[in-house]
């Protein structure tokens, strides 16, 4: 299992302006191919359902910055995907956790405390 620790002092972006976050995301040279390769490295074949989560995470980051903790992202994901089954649905797509694994595949910095095992437990 690939886990990354995040120091909140180094990863906090909530204070950034929208244009700074746009620049940061733009500097990543992100592409669907890059996410597909990252997913392949984690033995995940990206479906339309996976892409919906990846796009949501990138849009959420762009609008809100990096959350103070992973729970904030988990709540937002659960609310957005509630009609599909919420957390259970998301954990089926991302077995190591929608916040941790989803953020890696979306090429985003993992929120602080995302290495908590509860964000990676399968149902």
Work out the pLDDT band at 118, boundaries 50, 70, 90. Answer: low
Res 10 pLDDT > 70? no
Q: How far is CA 26 from CA 6, 30, 62, in A?
A: 21, 7, 11
| Predicted local confidence at residue 38, as pLDDT | 92
Residue bearing the bigger pLDDT, 4 or 117: 117
pLDDT digits (tens, 9 = 90+) for 56-102: 999 998 888 877 788 899 999 999 999 999 999 999 999 999 999 99
Helix (H) or strand (E) segment spanning residue 103: helix 100-105
Contact at 8 Å (CB) between 93 and 113? no
pLDDT for 109: 83
């Amino acid at each position: 299992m690939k886990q990354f620790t995040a120091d909140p002092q180094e990863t906090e972006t909530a204070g950034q302006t929208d244009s700074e976050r746009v620049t940061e995301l733009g500097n990543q040279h992100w592409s669907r191919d890059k996410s597909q390769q990252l997913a392949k490295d984690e033995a995940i074949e990206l479906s339309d359902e996976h892409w919906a989560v990846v796009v949501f995470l990138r849009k959420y980051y762009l609008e809100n910055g990096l959350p103070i903790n992973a729970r904030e992202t988990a709540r937002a994901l659960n609310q957005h995907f509630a009609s599909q089954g919420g957390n259970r649905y998301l954990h089926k797509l991302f077995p190591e956790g929608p916040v941790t694994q989803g953020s890696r595949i979306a090429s985003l910095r993992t929120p602080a405390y995302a290495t908590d095992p509860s964000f990676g437990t399968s149902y």
